[in-house]
Chains A and B, each alone.
Chain A
Amino acid sequence: MKQFLFFIQKEFYHLLRDKRTLFILFGMPVVQIVIFGFALTNEVKNSRIAILDQSKDEVTTSIIQQLEASQYFDIEKNLQSEADIEPAFREGKIKLVVVFPSQFQSTLLHTNSAPIQVIADATDPNVANTLTNYASAIILDYQNNIRGNQDFPYTIQTEMRMLYNPQMKGSYNFVPGVMAMVLMLVCAMMTSISIVREKEIGTMEVILVSPMVPLRVVIAKMVPYLLLSMINIGSILVLSVFALDVPIQGSLLLLVFECFLFTITSLALGLFISSVTNSQQTAMLISLMGMFLPTIMFSGFMFPVENMPLPLQIISNIVPAKWFYYIVKAVMIKGLGFFSIWKETLILAGMTTVLMLISIKKFKTRLE
């Protein structure tokens, strides 16, 4: 035990003396949370739009006012003729143009129906879709207002409620994703690199020619990264609760336990990578390509897994981050208890055990 503690101490020396890496390891989660929280967001806000109002009457003015008043749109300019529409889009700033035909109000009052044209820049289809939806929602809202108290014989009213995330904040989605990403990077990549480094500088050779079970030296390597990860989890949670207003709905203890489990999974992955590579560069490439990318692509954090073709959906099941992402969302956002996530927890635990066993078995007692 004393030996084991000494090995851990040695790993801490390595870690603490490499100031730059240490800075990156601690800084990365903070930077990621801040970037995802404030800069990278797929919520559409303050989009610049243009208005072509050929009617200029009471109704159009009031619709325009409502568009302007919403947080989604900023009216950039008023166009004078249809010929201005195309150049306005070409400039690239304007995402949407709302066109009112002439005589809008009188057409509406006399025929009970009037058209509004909404033209969107669909180079980014998702943004165009969202914007046209917002615009039609605002117009529909106005229509309901002018209808006033008139009774229609049949009306179906939809009342929507956004569960778990009433404000539709993107941060509810990415905080669990960033957690998965950071743990993968810190644990899988850093452990694999630090084990392979021993092979590269030749110390592994000397460690092998000693009575010590080399695996024990390797396991000691995992401890500092486990600790570092738990600190990172702490800083991510503090940031998301206090800076991004993402509450922790479920049990904090359960959340920390699940993070701990996933950290072990990542460490096992790192050990596995180190057992199949011989250079730090290869270890880093495998970690990035083989672990980091699938974490982003298949966890459901950036792209919904449900939309993928079936083969990809099946592949996504072997990505540990997918299960972790599901668990964190369930515990943190939905506030579910252990009984709702025991299956996923079991899968994650199973993966960890298998990975550990394979890498221990693959661990070479000789150089070849």
Chain B
Amino acid sequence: MIAVKVDSVKKTFKAEKSVVTALQQINFDVSKGELFGLIGPDGAGKTTLFRILTTLMLADEGTASVDGFDVVRDYKEIRKRVGYMPGRFSLYQDLTVEENLSFFATLFNTSLEENYDLVKAIYQQIEPFKKRRAGALSGGMKQKLALSCALIHRPSVLFLDEPTTGVDAVSRKEFWELLRDLQKHQITIIVSTPYMDEASLCDRVALMQNGKIMEINSPKGITENFKKPLWAVRGENMYQLMQTLQASEVIDSCYPFGQYHHVTFTDAIPDSQVASELAKIAPVTEVKKIPATIEDCFMELMRQ
């Protein structure tokens, strides 16, 4: 069953004198209970897409439906059944954790007790601080509170706009575990993130760039589509190494990834000769073959 359907949605904004295209020809479906990720850098159009789906904005062209309801015609129906967590922390900083929760529960005509089983896993982590004002919480705690508030009315579709941006690595990991947990309750989750490493935690992801979806697939499917052998290379002077490699015709691509550069070759070279091939171009200290990550695929797609 399809929970969210987006059909050739287009959206432009009028800036001073120019027209900015935020979304062009977006198409995708999300089935019920799926954890769907929108992956892309800032400005890819993720937030605009979320706002169209949560009935906060109108698309210029195309149609979209959530839970079978049209986002324009039946916007009131949709507002009853979706949970939305905007990109920035949108709770009342001067209200306590408890007060924030009961406000959003009241907003949706329900109470914390009624849906306690759903938010229990998350709420238990912030419960010790329930008398604390939301403004005094840490970044990770704030996101957990916001998630509890978005879940309090047992939504059928949950929209999370960059929920882990600005959150530390441990809290991010915990947050994603919570999301996987929520899937058990048959809640469809659409989550956006600029972090490529989080893509592998989704059932399916859409890679977005400049208002377009470049590819939709399962994380595994996406990395399997990366056909060329990928090599991680290290050298003494990493910056110089990158410049030399990028200038070379033998090298197809070279991107910095932490302590290594990820390198592909223009023509296929037998694995055993790679180290010597590279040594011809620049001094390298370490070479190893690695499987492609989502980020490698994203960079590759961006080049095309």
**Is B186 part of the contact surface with A, judged by Cβ < 8 Å?**
no
* A203 pairs with B90, CB closer than 8 A: yes
Q: Which residue of B lies closest to A197 (CB)?
A: B92
* B54 pairs with A3, CB closer than 8 A: no
* A17 pairs with B84, CB closer than 8 A: no
**Is B91 part of the contact surface with A, judged by Cβ < 8 Å?**
yes
Contacts of A7 in B (CB 8 A): 103, 106
- Taking CB atoms and an 8 Å cut-off, the chain A residues in 125-160 that contact chain B are none
**Is A201 part of the contact surface with B, judged by Cβ < 8 Å?**
yes
Interface size class of B (residues with CB under 8 A): 20 to 34
Q: Name which of A74-82, A207-215, A290-298 contacts chain B.
A: A207-215
Mark B91-118 against chain A: 1 for CB-CB distance below 8 A, else 0.
1111100010011101111000000000
* A3 pairs with B57, CB closer than 8 A: no
**Is A6 part of the contact surface with B, judged by Cβ < 8 Å?**
yes
Given contacts A208-B56, A211-B80, A211-B108, contact A367 B94 (CB under 8 A): no
* B57 pairs with A366, CB closer than 8 A: yes
* B88 pairs with A202, CB closer than 8 A: yes
Shortest Cβ distance from residue B82 to the other chain A in the assembled complex, whole angstroms: 6
Shortest Cβ distance from residue B45 to the other chain A in the assembled complex, whole angstroms: 15
**Is A91 part of the contact surface with B, judged by Cβ < 8 Å?**
no
**Is B179 part of the contact surface with A, judged by Cβ < 8 Å?**
no
Given contacts A6-B103, A10-B103, A367-B51, contact A209 B95 (CB under 8 A): no
Q: Which residue of B lies closest to A14 (CB)?
A: B94
A13: contacting residue among B82, B95, B106, B107, CB under 8 A: B95
**Is A18 part of the contact surface with B, judged by Cβ < 8 Å?**
yes
Interface size on A (CB < 8 Å)? Answer: 24
A206: contacting residue among B51, B55, B90, B109, CB under 8 A: B90
* B55 pairs with A209, CB closer than 8 A: yes
B79: contacting residue among A3, A13, A208, A217, CB under 8 A: A208
* A6 pairs with B108, CB closer than 8 A: no
Contacts of A202 in B (CB 8 A): 86, 88-90
**Is A57 part of the contact surface with B, judged by Cβ < 8 Å?**
no
Task: Give Cα A211–Cα B103 distance, bound, in whole angstroms.
Answer: 13
Q: Which residue of B lies closest to A204 (CB)?
A: B90
- Taking CB atoms and an 8 Å cut-off, the chain B residues in 51-99 that contact chain A are 51, 54-58, 75-76, 79-80, 82, 84-86, 88-95, 99
A6: contacting residue among B92, B102, B149, B150, CB under 8 A: B102
Contacts of A205 in B (CB 8 A): 56, 84, 86, 90
**Is A58 part of the contact surface with B, judged by Cβ < 8 Å?**
no
Shortest Cβ distance from residue A214 to the other chain B in the assembled complex, whole angstroms: 10
Given contacts A7-B106, A202-B86, contact A209 B92 (CB under 8 A): no
* A203 pairs with B76, CB closer than 8 A: no
Task: Give Cα A367–Cα B89 distance, bound, in whole angstroms.
Answer: 17
Q: Which residue of A lies closest to B92 (CB)?
A: A203
* A211 pairs with B92, CB closer than 8 A: no
Contacts of A211 in B (CB 8 A): 76, 79-80, 107-109
Given contacts A6-B106, A207-B107, A210-B79, contact A366 B55 (CB under 8 A): yes
* B94 pairs with A18, CB closer than 8 A: yes
Apart from A10-B103, A203-B90, what are 15 other A-B pairs with CB-CB below 8 Å? Answer: A3-B106, A17-B94, A201-B90, A202-B88, A205-B86, A206-B84, A206-B85, A206-B86, A208-B79, A210-B107, A210-B108, A211-B80, A365-B75, A366-B56, A367-B51
Q: 26 A-B contacts, Cβ less than 8 Å apart?
A: A3-B106, A6-B102, A7-B106, A10-B95, A10-B103, A13-B99, A14-B92, A14-B94, A18-B94, A202-B88, A203-B90, A205-B56, A206-B90, A206-B150, A209-B54, A209-B56, A209-B84, A210-B104, A211-B76, A211-B80, A211-B107, A211-B108, A365-B75, A367-B51, A367-B57, A368-B58
